[in-house]
Structure 1
Amino acid sequence: MLRTRFTEVFGVEHPIVQGGMMWVGRAELVAAVANAGALGFITALTQPTPDDLTKEIARTRELTDKPFGVNLTILPSITPPPYEEYRQAIIDSGIKIVEIAGGNPATHLSHLKDHGIKVLHKCTSVKHALKAQQVGVDGVSIDGFECAGHPGENDIPGLILIPAAAKHLTIPMIASGGIADAQGLVAALALGADGVNMGTRFMCTQESGVAQKVKEQIVANSELDTKLIFRTLNNTARVADNAISRKVVEIEKSGGSFDDIRDLVSGQRGRKVFEEGDLDAGIWTTGQSQGLIHDIPTVADLVTRMIDEAEDIITGRLNEIVAAPVTARS
């Protein structure tokens, strides 16, 4: 049993989080994560309306009686979603844990805290983590450059970012980006984190609702099979290497504007990938951790394996290294 500040504050059994993923964070996956003793998040904006979110929360409760949360991601948009209405749906549904990503958590924090909701803020820099702590969030999830989705513009990998943040934070911190197994969990704890957030790894499980072809492609891919798009727009995103992402990169390199790639990167095209398995229908999000993924287990098997192997590493190999006598060099 791995007990950390995160498990104590957020009331879960294991220091493992399935963060919000567009088109992926639905009831079946979230409930499976909760039933395995980890913390899963429904992705609010995957649901077309706040009413649909209310129904998805209810559907998740039919599948688990354990804690789970809702992710609310706030990103620049041509037509912004009704964030306040989604927030109210979360409150009215009695959710007690919310993950906020993309924007300043202060905008929604007081409304959530007034209803006894614990807030985990997802960010990509020490600066933003400290600001989130200052405004009163209960924990932060900090993304290294290896992560899927938006890794920020500083290109700092987790090996540097996590201990740099841990040096200053007093609230629980979750390490995110490039983590898919027990070794990553133990490494994150050693770097000062209180747990880990995994997206790509949970996407490649049996309960994940994405198409089987997507899961099989993640298993087939290596850590080299991602592309960074939107670099020229200062909104970097890590996505799978496919015909569409390569085309987007080329357009950006040639000086193209967002209007030149707008259709290629539309969310509906990415949704088609996940739901229909057409791997070149659009851009789809995956992290460098796919190079560490070699199977498609159930969520329960994945979480149990990670915890068991992490305990073996800590009490076995690392303990042996500490206990081994130092041999003087001749």
Structure 2
Amino acid sequence: MFKTRFTETFGVRHPIMQGGMQWVGRAEMAAAVANAGGLATLSALTQPTPQALADEIARCRELTDQPFGVNLTLLPTQKPIPYAEYRAAIIEGGIRVVETAGNNPGEHIAEFRQHGIKVIHKCTAVRHALKAEQLGVDAVSIDGFECAGHPGEDDIPGLVLLPAAANRLSVPIIASGGFADGRGLVAALALGADAINMGTRFLSTRECPIHPQVKAAIRAADERSTDVIMRSLRNSARVARNAISQEVLAIEARGSATYADIATLVSGLRGRTVYEQGDTDLGIWSAGMVQGLIDDEPTCEELLRGIVEQAQGLIRKRLEGLLSD
């Protein structure tokens, strides 16, 4: 067992968090991680309405008696999202931990804190993490350039970003991007983090509610099998390399591409179809470089136990053994 500021702050057994995971962070996924001793999150915007989120929170409670949270991603969208209603569903559902991501979470942090809810904010830069700390978050999740989804525009990998954040922050830090095993956990702790956050690694677990062919594709991929799209629009996203991501990059390479030029290709609904039907070329779907380290499909219990045991073994057998008098 590891005892860190993360485990103490959020009341979980292991310093391991399951990311928000759009279209994936459902009750069966979150409950499995929670039961295994990690901090699990439901994805609020995976649910089509605030009432659907309330129902999913209730469903998750039927599957676990352990703590779990909700990810609320704040998006710049053409169609307004009823964030106040989603927030109310989270509060009324008795959730004690929320992870925010995306746009400035100030108003949401203030409201959640009034109801005794702890807030984690996901950041891709130290300057953003410092702002989140000023707004009163209880922890920050720091995404390095290796991560799936949106790595920001600075291209700073975790090896530099994590200690840079640890040098300046006082709240607990969750390391995100590139983590899959005990080696990553030990490295993150050494760099100043208090826990690791994983998304891609959880895609290839027994309880993950996606098509088996997508899980198989992750296991077959290597660390080079991702693309960073939408860089020309300053909305970079790391996704699994497929026919659609290559088409998006070709459009961007022509110059002067607008979002309208690629909107139908990067539609989130197409990404959901990938997870449901198993055809990995149907749309854009998130995957990190870490897929090159994934070659099995354990249960969440087996995964978390294996990570912790491997990390303990590395510290006791390898790292201590390197010390000399």
TM-score range, shorter chain: over 0.9
Give the C-alpha shift of residue 114 in structure 1.
0.7
- Within 2, Cα distance between the matches of 1:147 and 1:115? 31
Q: Using the alignment, how far apart are the partners of 1:36 and 1:2 within structure 2?
A: 14
Q: CA deviation at 1:101?
A: 0.5
> What residue in structure 1 maps to residue 270 of structure 2?
269
**How many angstroms apart in 2 are the aligned matches of 1:163 and 1:210?**
34
Q: Secondary structure at the match of 2:33?
A: helix
Question: 1:176-191 residue pairs with structure 2 within 5 A?
Answer: 176-191=176-191
- Cα shift at 1:318: 0.3
- Report the counterpart of residue 28 of structure 1 in structure 2: 28
The alpha carbon displacement at 1:76 in A equals 1.2
Partners in 2 of 1:286 and 1:180 — Cα distance?
A: 12
Displacement of 1:189 in angstroms is 0.2
- Please give the residue correspondences for 1:130-209 in structure 2 after superposition, counting only pairs within 5 Å: 130-209=130-209
Task: Say yes or no: does 1:238 pair with 2:238.
Answer: yes
The equivalent of 2:285 in structure 1 is 284
Residue in 2 that maps onto 1:99 = 99
1:74 aligns with 2:74: yes
What is the Cα deviation at residue 58 of structure 1? 0.3
The answer on 1:13 being equivalent to 2:13 is yes
RMSD: 0.7
Give the SS at the match of 1:101. Answer: strand
Q: Distance in 1 between matches of 2:110 and 2:143?
A: 24
Are the equivalent residues in 1 in contact too, given 2:101–2:121 (CA < 8 A)?
A: yes
Q: Which amino acid aligns with 1:263?
A: T
Deviation at 1:147, TM superposition (A): 0.1
Distance 1:80 1:273 in 2: 25
Checking the alignment, whether the CA contact within 8 Å between 2:11 and 2:67 is kept in structure 1 is yes
The answer to whether the 8 Å contact 2:142/2:173 transfers is yes
Rounded Cα–Cα distance in structure 1 between residues aligned with 2:43 and 2:304:
20
Q: Which amino acid aligns with 2:91?
A: I
1:319 aligns with 2:320: yes
State the TM-score, normalizing by the size of structure 1: 0.97
User: Helix, strand or coil: the match of 1:238?
Assistant: strand
Task: Return the alpha-carbon distance in structure 2 between the equivalents of residues 125 and 307 of structure 1.
Answer: 28
> In structure 1, the residue corresponding to 2:99 is in which secondary structure?
strand
Q: Which amino acid aligns with 1:257?
A: T
Post-superposition CA distance 1:166-203 (Å, at most 9, x none) = 00111100000011111000000000000000000011
Query: Separation in 1 of the partners of 2:80 and 2:212?
Result: 31
Does 2:221 correspond to 1:221?
yes
C-alpha deviation, 1:75, in angstroms: 1.5
Q: Structure 2: how far apart are the matches of 1:142 and 1:94? A: 26
**CA distance in structure 2 between the partners assigned to 1:260 and 1:114 by the alignment:** 43
Q: Percent identity?
A: 61
- In structure 2, C-alpha distance between the alignment counterparts of 1:103 and 1:121, rounded to whole Å: 10
Code of the residue aligned with 1:247 in structure 2: it is E
Task: Deviation per CA, 1:27-69: give whole Å up to 9, x if none.
Answer: 0010000000000100000000000000000000000000000
Per-residue Cα deviation, 1:282-323 (whole angstroms, up to 9, x for no partner) = 00000000001010110000000000110111111000012x
The Cα offsets for residues 74-124 of structure 1, whole Å up to 9 and x where unpaired, read as 011111311111000000101000000012121201110111000010010
Q: Contact 2:74/2:105 (CA < 8 Å) preserved in 1?
A: no
| Count of residues in Structure 1 that have an aligned counterpart in Structure 2 | 324
Which residue of structure 2 aligns with residue 3 of structure 1?
3
Q: What is the CA–CA distance in structure 2 between the aligned matches of 1:107 and 1:279, rounded to whole Å?
A: 38
Unaligned segments of structure 2, at least 5 residues: none
Between stretches 56-65 and 249-258, larger displacement belongs to 249-258
Q: CA deviation at 1:278?
A: 1.1
**Which residue identity lines up with residue 302 of structure 1 in the other structure?**
L
